[in-house]
């Protein structure tokens, strides 16, 4: 896919030339089925997004007309924006008129390429609701595979929806995902708290072929990789996670010392994970403070993984290493995670930020 991207200033006379970080890809440089966007100018409608833009040192025009950055549409152009949650970055596509993704998995791979595309860990589609929900979220990983869920992605999705749709004061809505019903709440501070549902622990449902050793779950079980035996706990948050705090050789991991790109793929493609797996390597600072690095299925080493942080706290509780409420430090920043005893649901709270919008 031939395309060029640049950061430039908007040309409209109604805006300060420094009003927004914008991007452009000339439609003529793209195949007709995937023209990305063209030069139209917009402002940010949602006040909390305006706040996050200004916290990035970007000025927004105070008296600009109240139109969304996606209000100006032309057929044949793919309208998207880019958000990140703690450096886990996504291209978000307005797909509210169809349950068919506007981008194929092959095109998603090209869009996610950090040298020859826009660059992202995944492409997320905002779609009409299904099964009685307000919206549906689907996502393609940067390798084109489709995961069931994405924790950082659903926080970005919530802010994207708040920008696209008039929520009439509502700060919460329901989202159908491959992992079932997910409920994000946009807080007054702009962070998003998400009810991530119940963790799945039964080995066959994670899925893993490792034999269950605790109430049908795999907890601190040995997994051989290149002659080392890792102690792993397997948790699904709709998508599969393999969490490790130690190996037989190393009782407490120093996660900064790990060569993730060497070891990560060996977990991801291990035969005991029939759907592949995300893997979290965790260091315990205290019973309420954990540090993790992640190797994501279909995306490699990323700066953060929301479902991964949830799986880490569930695994830490199961291994007796932490309380149910923890701060989890990821390379991109911290997430607050709580595995509530009352309803068995995991709650994740964290930030998102708008990175750029179309011209």
Catalytic residues: 150, 305
CB 93, min distance to ligand LBFN2T5F, A = 16
Size of the site for ligand LBFN2T5F (CB under 6 A): 18
How many whole angstroms separate alpha carbon 60 and alpha carbon 284? 42
Paired with 335 in beta bridges are 328
Q: Does 297 bind ligand LBFN2T5F (CB under 6 A)?
A: yes
Per DSSP, the residues of 268-284 read: HT-TT-TT--EEEEEEE
Joined tokens for residue 283: 């260091």
Q: Are 54 and 18 in contact (CB under 8 A)?
A: no
Q: Say which residues have a Cβ less than 8 Å from residue 319's Cβ, sequence separation at least 6.
A: 219, 220, 233, 245
Nearer to ligand LBFN2T5F, 27 or 308 (CB): 308
CB 297, min distance to ligand LBFN2T5F, A = 4
Stretch touching ligand LBFN2T5F by CB under 6 A, among 157-165, 182-190, 303-311, 321-329: 303-311
Nearer to ligand LBFN2T5F, 19 or 278 (CB): 278
Nearer to ligand LBFN2T5F, 95 or 278 (CB): 278
Nearer to ligand LBFN2T5F, 154 or 321 (CB): 154
Q: Does 350 bind ligand LBFN2T5F (CB under 6 A)?
A: no
Stretch touching ligand LBFN2T5F by CB under 6 A, among 110-118, 182-190, 200-208, 305-313: 305-313
Q: Are 162 and 46 in contact (CB under 8 A)?
A: yes
CB 308, min distance to ligand LBFN2T5F, A = 6
CB 281, min distance to ligand LBFN2T5F, A = 15
Per DSSP, the three-state class of 1 is coil
Selected binder of ligand LBFN2T5F within 117, 151, 334, 350 (CB under 6 A): 151
Q: Are 3 and 37 in contact (CB under 8 A)?
A: no
Which is nearest to 193 in space by CA: 330, 354, 347, 333? 347
Q: Does 88 bind ligand LBFN2T5F (CB under 6 A)?
A: yes
Q: Are 78 and 55 in contact (CB under 8 A)?
A: no
Q: Are 88 and 96 in contact (CB under 8 A)?
A: no
CB 37, min distance to ligand LBFN2T5F, A = 24
Helices (H), 23-150: 47-55, 105-112
Q: Does 306 bind ligand LBFN2T5F (CB under 6 A)?
A: yes
**What count of other Cβ atoms lies within 10 Å of the Cβ of residue 76?**
10
How many whole angstroms separate alpha carbon 341 and alpha carbon 323? 11
Q: Does 305 bind ligand LBFN2T5F (CB under 6 A)?
A: yes
Chain centroid to CA 196: how far?
A: 13
Q: Does 36 bind ligand LBFN2T5F (CB under 6 A)?
A: no
Nearer to ligand LBFN2T5F, 10 or 264 (CB): 264
Paired with 296 in beta bridges are 300
Stretch touching ligand LBFN2T5F by CB under 6 A, among 109-117, 143-151, 170-178, 228-236: 143-151
CB 331, min distance to ligand LBFN2T5F, A = 12
Joined tokens for residue 192: 């998003």
* Site for ligand LBFN2T5F, rule CB under 6 A: 88, 141, 147, 150-153, 239, 278, 296-299, 302, 305-308
């Amino acid at each position: 896919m031939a395309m060029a991207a640049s950061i430039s200033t908007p040309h409209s006379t109604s805006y300060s030339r420094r009003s927004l970080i914008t991007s452009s890809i000339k439609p003529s440089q793209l195949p007709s089925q995937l023209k990305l966007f063209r030069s139209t100018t917009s402002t940010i409608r949602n006040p909390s997004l305006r706040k996050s833009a200004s916290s990035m040192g970007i000025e927004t025009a105070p008296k600009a007309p109240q139109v969304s950055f996606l209000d100006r549409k032309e057929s044949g152009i793919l309208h998207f924006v880019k958000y990140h949650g703690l450096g886990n970055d996504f291209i978000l596509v307005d797909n509210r008129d169809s349950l068919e993704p506007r981008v194929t998995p092959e095109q998603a791979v090209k869009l996610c390429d950090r040298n020859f595309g826009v660059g992202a860990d995944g492409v997320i589609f905002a779609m009409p609701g299904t099964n009685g929900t307000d919206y549906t979220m689907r996502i393609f990983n940067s390798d084109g595979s489709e995961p069931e869920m994405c924790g950082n992605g659903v926080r970005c999705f919530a802010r994207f929806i708040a920008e696209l749709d008039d929520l009439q004061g509502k700060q919460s809505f329901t989202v159908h995902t491959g992992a079932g019903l997910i409920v994000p709440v946009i807080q007054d501070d702009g962070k998003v708290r998400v009810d991530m549902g119940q963790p799945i622990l039964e080995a066959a449902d994670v899925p893993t072929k490792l034999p269950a050793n605790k109430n049908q779950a795999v907890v601190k079980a040995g997994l051989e990789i290149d002659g080392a035996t890792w102690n792993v706990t397997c948790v699904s948050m709709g998508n599969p996670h393999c969490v490790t705090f130690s190996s037989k050789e190393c009782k407490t991991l120093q996660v900064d010392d790990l060569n993730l790109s060497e070891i990560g793929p060996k977990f991801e493609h291990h035969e005991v994970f029939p759907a592949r797996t995300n893997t979290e390597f965790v260091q315990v600072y205290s019973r309420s403070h954990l540090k993790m690095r992640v190797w994501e299925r279909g995306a490699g080493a990323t700066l953060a993984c929301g479902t991964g942080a949830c799986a880490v706290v569930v695994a830490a509780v199961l291994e007796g290493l932490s309380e149910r409420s923890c701060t989890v430090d990821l390379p991109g920043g911290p997430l607050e995670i709580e595995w509530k005893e009352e309803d068995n649901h995991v709650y994740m709270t964290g930030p998102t930020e708008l990175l750029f919008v179309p011209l």
